[in-house]
Chains A and B, each alone.
Chain A
Amino acid sequence: MSATFAVSRTLLIGRLREQPFRLLATVLAIALGVALSTAVFLINQGALQEFDRAARQLVGDADIVLRGGDAGFDESLFVALATDPAVVAASPMLDLAAQPMDGEDSLPILGLDPLRAGQVQPLLLAGLGDGLLPLLQPDAVALSASAAEQLGLSEGGRLRLRAGSEVIELRVVKVLTEEAYPQPLALMDIASAQWRFDRIGRINRLDLRLRTGIEPERFLAALAARLPVGVTATGPGEEAGRAERVSRAYRVNLNLLAMVALLTGGFLVFSTQSLAVLRRRQSFALLRALGCRRGELKVALLAEGALLGVTGAALGVVLGQALAVMVLVRLGGDLGGGYFATLATRPDPQASSLLPFFLVGTALAMVGAWWPAREAARRAPALALKSGDAEIVLARMGGVRAGLVLAGVAVLLALLPAVGGLPLFGYLAVAALLFAGILLVPALTARVLAVCPVPRRATPAVALAQLRGSAGLSAISLAAIIVSFSLMAAMAIMVHSFRDSFERWLGDVLPADLHARVAATHDTAYWDEADQAAIARLPGVSHVEWRRLAGLRMDALREPVELIARPVGVDGPVTRLPLVAGTLEPTRGSEPVVWISEPVSDLYGWRVGELRELPLADGPWPVRVAGIWRDYGHPAGAIVVSLEDYRLRTGDLAVNQAAFWLEPGVEASEVETGLRGLFAEGAFLQVYRGDDLRQRSLAYFDRAFAVTYALEAVAVAIGLMGVSFALSAQALARRREFGVLRHLGMLRSQVLALLAFEGGIMGLLGAAYGLLLGFLISLVLVYVVNRQAFNWSIDLSLPVGQLLVVALGLVLAAVLTGALSGRRATSVTAVRAVRDDW
């Protein structure tokens, strides 16, 4: 048996014998930190994988994908490319969305040639099985398993969809296998889709597979000249990243949460280990004095950290998986965010993806042990044996200069632009700010404690004196709570700012008494001129504002930009346009004007006053940018044009939505009943009262962020646990001190009060510091991370009440923890406590 092993066995067994509960708690702390980050990672990964699989199944093996806007393109392009010698397989499609009669959400519909699509999307088509030939019938539809479940349909059932303002009925000839496609989807024959949705001669997507040896890039370059306006083509590499881009907004939120979890967990592990090592400095010195060598002690401490780390991390990985499963079962893969509402996500953890969490947890435990262990080993045994020596060690570890430098770096990082649409530097800035804050904690703590006026009453005065004397130790235990609390405060400020801006925006864009739309999608459902005339004649309506929506493909790699044709004006009842730049009443030149949303400005670089072209299906439309407006409704961007100009240019007189202003005294419900009565299956039109719609939108917003709050709460709880460990660790270490105080005449209750005071002061410091740091981080989140990730602006708004309540809760919890941790330390008799030393 080697000497090192003997030393580490002695240390560990000693620790176990002395404080079995404490050792267990350390392991648990490591486990919790690892569990939290593992869980967030697993949820994130599971959802993304499912999303990616769905997207991949739709794209299949295509080398090139051509996409058109809503109006699509002529099918002759398919014929031309299908006979191109470089093309092995060409699969024409109509990629649409339609409104099921009894569903709220629209249903994605893929009209395809099942005989051709199999060459490009084999997995999707394999799911069709024996439904292939029946699908060729003009009233046939095949549903993905999740669509069938959502709509309550099975094979042989009838699917009723809105087409125009009419209703069509399709026969479900097949329900696809689960493996074929995980999300809701309906497949139709392309001929049926063209017929049913009135798109004879048009397709809007064309997937190509190229002959082996043909370079997709070359082919794309040659193809560019043949593409009609508004049609884009993407190559294989670009298609692969599509899912990632579509779900970007979703991942921004989750990434932040993962960061909170990882950092909080990391600091917790680190501070728990550091404190445990520091507390036993005198034991180490004794070992050294007994002949144990420096290296042996260091290795032994490291081994102890590793053992605790391995146990805790292994427990954490298992716990994290359980947590992930629980969250996914309860909330679904999108964590309530509504991005993949029906995704059946099962966490499928691979050992390889869990290993990093296990290793990081173990490593953090070892680093936590190693840093103070190095100091402990170096220190001459005689000095270390003296009481209070730990503080001297900690004083050396301070990093005021490093903290200030890091803070400067954070500011510089925040000024850098997004990388590939992701606010990478923004994240780094947040991390830098956080670490700067942590590095400055010891110095700031010492300074604040030093300037604190000494209270006149004995107990608080002693508490302050004690904290001043052990500022370093206090700082370490504060770190974990500061990390979790500041990140929580930052997230809270960001979400509150967003919600505030969102609410004001809702008031701008939904001002009418009643809002109605034919369907949740504008692809396949609309009101024609006769419908509009009938609606306009409804009694009780003083004014109707029509809207026509159309998707424009402006970039191969992005989702379509929404073209919104509607009246724009400053007088009378009209939906306001929340402008951030430009004017509503431009001096009009020869060309029509448009108002672009912030994402259009950010993503496409359009500026006020510029002349630009809208890619309409029948050719480019030159327009001038009159203004930029704030829009949270269309992440891919929206362009407003006056309905008059749009109709003049396109001759398209259909509309998708209507906003009603009612005559005084008229009940919204009367008009709603009248409107529904005008149409077949009118009960299924989507009609909302203005205030209802605003409430629903806000409720949706809150649901999307509900999990954010829940995970933040967990982070704060873990941070609190860290404080409690620190306090109780110190309390136990100070049994002699308490004994002396009792001998000096202090009552046991006064000692407990002393500890409560200490806890309160630390909680107060942590909360105040966390709030300050959180505020600074929130600035980065609001102005850098959010802007770069979503391309829209939000106004900073502080949830003062909410923050104060949480801060108060934190202080109270610290007071309580302090008092509780003192109970055991003071439970022995004063005499024994003093004698305990020997």
Chain B
Amino acid sequence: MMRAVCAVLLAGWALTGATLSLPGDHGAHPDQRTEWWYVTGWLETAAGEELGFQVTFFRTRVDQPEAHPSAFAARQLIIAHAALSDPALGRLRHGQRIARASHGLAGADQQQARAWIGDWILERKAGSWETRVEAEDFALALDLASVQPPLLHGEDGYSRKGQDPAAASRYYSLPSLAVTGSVTIEGRTQEVTGSAWLDHEWSNALMEPEAIGWDWVGLQLDDGGSLMAFRMRGKDGGVRWAAATRRDAAGRVVHHGPETVVFRPGRRWRSPRTGVEYPVEFELQVGDERLDLRPLMDDQESDSRQTTGAIYWEGAVRAQDVAGRRGRGYLELTGYGTPLVLPGGGADSARQTPSSLP
């Protein structure tokens, strides 16, 4: 029954969708307003310590007259975030950069996946990805090798985000990337291995005006399966949309719509810095499966008011189901303090973005 409803909905989407093709679509789509390459994952040091990490490159289109003759004309903004969840510290180490794409100093390539600001970079080379970022008190230099095929969300990568079919994005993930490389914390460099998840998503209109933010999770299960699930929350406190993509160990993919995806918030944690309260534990129901999500640590709040203007919670989580199966992944909670506004979302959002730079 549920399937049938989903199929009807999916049929509606197919009309607006165009085929997503890889590797061509790994590169940037500069005609779209917003785009991001979002890498999250778990790392393990030689001593067996567990760390969570996140590296994100955002691209935002700014309207400029075609005839603008200056090479400085800010047609595209690049924003980069990097964070390290270090249980020894008890909160995130965080770094961020923002720049206009100009003079080769910052940009996002159209032909191949390569986004950079100065020496911060995320790049796909010969089928494998690598990233290097150097923040004030930590640095990451990681190679990310694909071991599983890409996971396309929604209808062939056309992912609806709301009740209005126009609110949607192009969206695929690369789960289970094998990570090797090094992490530098306060000047001390250590070799690490681990597993990462890459999201690549682009859109002209991702959020409905009624939406306030979203909860998102990407999980890699110990048996080799993976699960992406999200819900869009409305300003009225209700859920405007939800969806999930489940791939089992054998590689079979099932797409879920709003009816079969339920996020049940559990314990809440209040940030001592911003006063914002987040549900840091969830019971996630996707179809027949039920998973408990528990954070690596409570304080994984990111303050990126200086670049994207948002305060959000983005952190490493463990998952466990009633049958005892386990997994690890990342949970993202946005719009809990003030409504989330994507940068470059037109004049309106630009005005609301409090972007005082460091």
Determine whether the beta carbon of A200 is less than 8 Å from that of B69.
Answer: yes
A116 / chain B contacts, CB cutoff of 8 Å: 99
Scoring B residues 210 to 225 as 1 if CB is less than 8 Å from chain A, else 0, what string do you get? Answer: 0000000000000000
Q: How far, in Å, is B81 (CB) from chain A's closest CB? A: 15
- Could you show 24 A-B contacts with beta carbons less than 8 Å apart? A75-B72, A78-B103, A79-B103, A79-B105, A115-B100, A118-B356, A118-B358, A122-B358, A128-B356, A130-B353, A130-B355, A133-B350, A133-B351, A134-B351, A138-B64, A138-B65, A138-B68, A189-B72, A190-B70, A191-B74, A192-B70, A194-B70, A200-B70, A201-B71
Q: A83-B105, A130-B355, A133-B353 are in contact. Are A115 and B72 (CB under 8 A)?
A: no
Scoring A residues 125 to 144 as 1 if CB is less than 8 Å from chain B, else 0, what string do you get? Answer: 11011101110111000000
Determine whether the beta carbon of B103 is less than 8 Å from that of A132.
Answer: no
A200 / chain B contacts, CB cutoff of 8 Å: 69-71
B169-216 residues with Cβ-Cβ distance < 8 A to A are none
In the complex the two chains form, what is the Cα distance from A132 to B77 in whole Å? 12
The reply on A119 being an interface residue by CB < 8 A is: yes
Determine whether the beta carbon of B70 is less than 8 Å from that of A119.
Answer: no
Q: A79-B104, A133-B343, A136-B62 are in contact. Are A119 and B357 (CB under 8 A)?
A: yes
B65 / chain A contacts, CB cutoff of 8 Å: 138
B301-321 residues with Cβ-Cβ distance < 8 A to A are none
The reply on A195 being an interface residue by CB < 8 A is: yes
Determine whether the beta carbon of A114 is less than 8 Å from that of B357.
Answer: yes
Scoring B residues 53 to 74 as 1 if CB is less than 8 Å from chain A, else 0, what string do you get? Answer: 0000000001111001111111
B327-358 residues with Cβ-Cβ distance < 8 A to A are 343-344, 347, 350-358
In the complex the two chains form, what is the Cα distance from A821 to B354 in whole Å? 72
Determine whether the beta carbon of A115 is less than 8 Å from that of B103.
Answer: no
Report the nearest A residue to B72, measured CB to CB: A191
Q: How far, in Å, is B103 (CB) from chain A's closest CB? A: 5
Determine whether the beta carbon of B103 is less than 8 Å from that of A134.
Answer: no
The 9 A-B residue pairs with the shortest CB-CB distance in the complex, in nearest-first order:
A118-B357, A191-B72, A191-B70, A133-B350, A132-B355, A194-B70, A136-B74, A191-B73, A79-B103
Known: A115-B98, A122-B357, A191-B73. 8 other contacts (CB 8 A): A82-B103, A82-B105, A119-B357, A122-B358, A130-B353, A134-B350, A138-B65, A191-B74
In the complex the two chains form, what is the Cα distance from A601 to B77 in whole Å? 49
Q: How far, in Å, is B76 (CB) from chain A's closest CB? A: 11
In the complex the two chains form, what is the Cα distance from A394 to B206 in whole Å? 95
Determine whether the beta carbon of A134 is less than 8 Å from that of B64.
Answer: no
In the complex the two chains form, what is the Cα distance from A448 to B98 in whole Å? 81
The reply on A113 being an interface residue by CB < 8 A is: yes
Determine whether the beta carbon of B350 is less than 8 Å from that of A129.
Answer: no
Residue ranges of B at the interface with A (Cβ–Cβ < 8 Å): 62-65, 68-74, 77, 98-100, 103-105, 118, 343-344, 347, 350-358
Determine whether the beta carbon of B357 is less than 8 Å from that of A125.
Answer: yes
In the complex the two chains form, what is the Cα distance from A83 to B117 in whole Å? 11
B99 / chain A contacts, CB cutoff of 8 Å: 115-116
Q: How far, in Å, is B246 (CB) from chain A's closest CB? A: 38
Q: How far, in Å, is A628 (CB) from chain B's closest CB? A: 42
A192 / chain B contacts, CB cutoff of 8 Å: 70
Determine whether the beta carbon of A75 is less than 8 Å from that of B73.
Answer: no
Q: A125-B357, A132-B355, A138-B65 are in contact. Are A115 and B73 (CB under 8 A)?
A: no
Determine whether the beta carbon of A134 is less than 8 Å from that of B68.
Answer: no
In the complex the two chains form, what is the Cα distance from A116 to B68 in whole Å? 20
A175-201 residues with Cβ-Cβ distance < 8 A to B are 189-192, 194-195, 200-201
Number of A-B contacts (CB under 8 A): 88
Q: A114-B357, A119-B357 are in contact. Are A191 and B103 (CB under 8 A)?
A: no
B68 / chain A contacts, CB cutoff of 8 Å: 138, 191, 195
In the complex the two chains form, what is the Cα distance from A75 to B77 in whole Å? 19
B350 / chain A contacts, CB cutoff of 8 Å: 133-134
Determine whether the beta carbon of B69 is less than 8 Å from that of A195.
Answer: yes
Q: How far, in Å, is A305 (CB) from chain B's closest CB? A: 57
B356 / chain A contacts, CB cutoff of 8 Å: 118, 125-126, 128-129, 132
Q: How far, in Å, is A91 (CB) from chain B's closest CB? A: 11
Report the nearest A residue to B358, measured CB to CB: A118
A125 / chain B contacts, CB cutoff of 8 Å: 356-357
In the complex the two chains form, what is the Cα distance from A122 to B100 in whole Å? 18
Determine whether the beta carbon of A133 is less than 8 Å from that of B64.
Answer: no
Q: A115-B100, A195-B70 are in contact. Are A134 and B357 (CB under 8 A)?
A: no
Q: A115-B99, A116-B99, A138-B65 are in contact. Are A133 and B72 (CB under 8 A)?
A: no
A194 / chain B contacts, CB cutoff of 8 Å: 69-70, 72
A3-42 residues with Cβ-Cβ distance < 8 A to B are none
Q: How far, in Å, is B58 (CB) from chain A's closest CB? A: 13
Determine whether the beta carbon of A190 is less than 8 Å from that of B72.
Answer: yes
A78-133 residues with Cβ-Cβ distance < 8 A to B are 78-79, 82-83, 92, 113-119, 122, 125-126, 128-130, 132-133
In the complex the two chains form, what is the Cα distance from A276 to B355 in whole Å? 68
A128 / chain B contacts, CB cutoff of 8 Å: 356
Q: How far, in Å, is B97 (CB) from chain A's closest CB? A: 9
Report the nearest B residue to A173, measured CB to CB: B351
Report the nearest A residue to B78, measured CB to CB: A115
Report the nearest A residue to B100, measured CB to CB: A115
Q: How far, in Å, is A460 (CB) from chain B's closest CB? A: 79
In the complex the two chains form, what is the Cα distance from A136 to B63 in whole Å? 9
In the complex the two chains form, what is the Cα distance from A136 to B98 in whole Å? 13
B62 / chain A contacts, CB cutoff of 8 Å: 133, 136
Report the nearest A residue to B104, measured CB to CB: A79
Determine whether the beta carbon of A75 is less than 8 Å from that of B98.
Answer: no
Q: How far, in Å, is A29 (CB) from chain B's closest CB? A: 54
Q: How far, in Å, is A327 (CB) from chain B's closest CB? A: 37
Report the nearest A residue to B344, measured CB to CB: A133
* Residue from the set A83, A115, A116, A200 with the largest chain B CB neighbour count within 10 Å: A115
Q: How far, in Å, is B71 (CB) from chain A's closest CB? A: 7
Report the nearest B residue to A90, measured CB to CB: B105
Determine whether the beta carbon of A130 is less than 8 Å from that of B70.
Answer: no
Determine whether the beta carbon of B103 is less than 8 Å from that of A130.
Answer: no
A229-246 residues with Cβ-Cβ distance < 8 A to B are none
In the complex the two chains form, what is the Cα distance from A78 to B72 in whole Å? 12
Report the nearest A residue to B60, measured CB to CB: A133
Report the nearest B residue to A201, measured CB to CB: B71
Determine whether the beta carbon of B72 is less than 8 Å from that of A113.
Answer: yes
B105 / chain A contacts, CB cutoff of 8 Å: 79, 82-83
In the complex the two chains form, what is the Cα distance from A190 to B68 in whole Å? 12
* Residue from the set B71, B344, B355 with the largest chain A CB neighbour count within 10 Å: B355
A114 / chain B contacts, CB cutoff of 8 Å: 357
A130 / chain B contacts, CB cutoff of 8 Å: 351-355
Q: How far, in Å, is B275 (CB) from chain A's closest CB? A: 21
Determine whether the beta carbon of A189 is less than 8 Å from that of B357.
Answer: no
Scoring A residues 736 to 770 as 1 if CB is less than 8 Å from chain B, else 0, what string do you get? Answer: 00000000000000000000000000000000000
B63 / chain A contacts, CB cutoff of 8 Å: 137
Q: How far, in Å, is B53 (CB) from chain A's closest CB? A: 23
In the complex the two chains form, what is the Cα distance from A134 to B77 in whole Å? 13
In the complex the two chains form, what is the Cα distance from A438 to B343 in whole Å? 74
In the complex the two chains form, what is the Cα distance from A195 to B70 in whole Å? 6
A129 / chain B contacts, CB cutoff of 8 Å: 354, 356
B343 / chain A contacts, CB cutoff of 8 Å: 133
